Every structure is written in C-alpha cells, then in structure tokens.
C-alpha cells in the first residue's frame, strides 16, 4: 500500500489563486521521488499539504493511511512526528548550540535525555557536523546550516522525509553532496520526496520525477 497518496487534490489560497488542480499520485514505501516544476508551480504547496501546514480544499491526502485533509488539529503533531521536514527558510535557533538544535525534536516528543543525546550525536555524525556540536549555528556556513536542518529532520527517524529546495542557495558541488545525503537516507528505507527545480541534480539519479506546471501534474 502507498505510504503517501493524493487523489483529486485541489488547493486554492484566499484571494482565489489556485495553487493545485486535481492532483493525483501515490508514493510507495522506500521510494525516492523528485518533485519539479517552474517556481510558483505549486511544489511548496504540495509539500505543505502533506505536513498539514496547509489544508486542501478538495480531494484526499493520505499519509500512512491517515486522511490528512480531514485530520483533527490535535492529531497533527503526531502526524508530523513521522515526517522529517527540510523546508525553505526553515529557521535554526541561534540562541542555542548545534547540538541543542538537533535535540529539539526529541525533547518535544518526550525522549529520555540520555537516549536523545545519543541519537542527536548519531544524526550530527551522519551529516558530518559532529565536531561542531558545541558551535552556535550562526557560525556555520550556508551548506553546514542546511546539513544541520537535515540532521534535525532525521533525528526522529521519520518514515517520510520531505525537502523543499534543499540545495537552493548552494554551489553545485555542495548541492550534490546534500542530494547524496538524501539518497543515503533513502537507501536505509526512508521514503524521500525532494522538491527542486535543478534538472541536473535530478537527471543524475534515475528516480521517479513528478513535474508540476501551473498547479497541474504533467
């Protein structure tokens, strides 16, 4: 059964702009899928619907068999705990260390501290930031900050990883490195959905590609 499926999903923003029109697709567990399209095509909106940051105006969004578009607000936190989100402009907290930024999702879900610390270090190790755990995120480069966001997204060991333009502000070599990281998570069984407009990165990897054009799936 699909881990993620859209059927006839529509999203209209207040003011009448139709961001998504009749979107239907399904993603199998363990799949890695690229989502592409021009800017304003609806990539970000689609990802936001999965995490219940926005609600669809029609159709159903199923995540792990749960209908997200009809979910009670009180159930949303528990949906998000199984999602790793790497979103554009997603902020790091500059009032605490790299380590504490990664700890946050575990503290929020009530992990015992010792076990949480072990996991946080493991996540930092995977993205190559273990030596910087005591640093303040403000001292990290753009690419390192993006890696920190990824560590924070995977520390909970989510079943689905969603990334919105994770390589937007990075040079080609660095972008490739980030993309390799997502592939690595996919290889250990995580379902990965990456939105990007960078065709070069997509073409290298021979994965399924969903293309959005003015809110429609091609």
Partner 1 sequence: MRAWLQHHGLSLAQTISRFAQSPLATILNVLVIGVAVALPLGGYLVLSNLESFSRNVSTEPQLSVFLVGDAAKSDVIAIEARLKGADGVRTLRFVSRDAALAELRRTPGMSAVIDTLQSNPLPDAFVVTLSASDPELADRLERQFKSLPKVAHVQADSAWARRLDSLLRLGRTTVALLGALLGVALVAVTFNTIRLQILTQHDEIEICRLIGATRAYVRRPFFYLGSLLGLLGGCSALAIVLVALAVLNRDIAPLAALYGSDFRLRYLDTAEAAVILACSAALGWFGAYLSVSKHLREIEVA
Q: How far is the CB of 39 from partner 1 (least distance, A)?
A: 22
Asked if residue 56 lies in contact with residue 12, where contact means CB atoms within 8 angstroms, the answer is no
Cα distances (Å, whole numbers) of residue 39 to 88, 106, 213: 13, 33, 9
- Is the Cβ of residue 185 or residue 201 nearer to partner 1 in the bound state? 185
Distances (CA, A) of 151 to 3, 21, 108, 121, 146: 22, 33, 16, 9, 9
Query: Considering the complex, what minimum distance in angstroms separates the CB of residue 209 from partner 1?
Result: 26
**Angle at 174 (CA atoms; ends 173, 178), nearest 5 degrees:** 120
75 vs 184, which CB is nearer to partner 1? 75
Distance of closest approach, residue 211 Cβ to partner 1, in angstroms: 26
Q: How big, in percent rounded to 5, are the helix, strand and coil portions of the chain?
A: 40, 25, 35
Buried b (16+ CB within 10 A) or exposed e, 163-174: bbbbbeebeeeb
How do 58-63 and 32-37 pair as beta strands?
unpaired
Q: How far is the CB of 116 from partner 1 (least distance, A)?
A: 10
DSSP state of 19: E
Looking up tokens 């091609």, which residue turns up?
218
Q: Which is nearer to partner 1, 107 or 172 (CB)?
A: 107
Task: Give the nearest distance from C-beta 63 to partner 1 in angstroms.
Answer: 13
Decide whether 56 or 202 has the Cβ nearer to partner 1: 56
Residue placing its CB nearer to partner 1 in the complex, 165 or 198? 165
| Residues in contact with partner 1 by the rule CB under 8 A | 51-55, 73-74, 76-81, 83, 85, 87, 90-91, 93, 95, 104-105, 107-113, 152, 156
The minimum distance between CB 159 and partner 1, in angstroms, equals 13
Task: Please say which residue, 16 or 110, places its beta carbon nearer to partner 1.
Answer: 110
Which residues make Cβ contacts (< 8 Å) with residue 203, sequence separation at least 6? Answer: none
């Amino acid at each position: 059964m699909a881990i993620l499926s859209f059927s006839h999903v529509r999203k209209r923003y207040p003011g009448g702009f139709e961001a998504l029109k009749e979107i239907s697709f399904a993603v199998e567990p363990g799949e890695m899928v690229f989502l592409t399209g021009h800017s304003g095509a609806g990539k970000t909106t689609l990802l936001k619907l999965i995490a219940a940051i926005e609600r669809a105006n029609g159709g159903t969004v199923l995540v792990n068999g749960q209908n997200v578009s009809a979910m009670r607000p009180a159930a949303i936190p528990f949906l998000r705990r199984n999602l790793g989100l790497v979103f554009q402009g997603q902020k790091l907290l500059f009032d605490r260390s790299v380590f504490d930024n990664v700890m946050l999702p575990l503290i929020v879900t009530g992990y015992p501290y010792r076990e949480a610390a072990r996991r946080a270090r493991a996540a930092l190790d995977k993205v190559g930031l273990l030596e910087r755990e005591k640093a303040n995120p403000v001292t990290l480069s753009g690419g390192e900050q993006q890696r920190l966001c990824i560590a924070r997204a995977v520390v909970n060991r989510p079943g689905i990883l969603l990334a919105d333009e994770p390589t937007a502000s990075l040079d080609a070599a660095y972008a490739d490195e980030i993309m390799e990281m997502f592939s690595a998570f996919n290889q250990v069984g995580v379902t990965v959905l990456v939105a990007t407009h960078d065709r070069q990165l997509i073409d290298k990897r021979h994965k399924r590609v969903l293309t959005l054009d003015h809110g429609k799936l091609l």
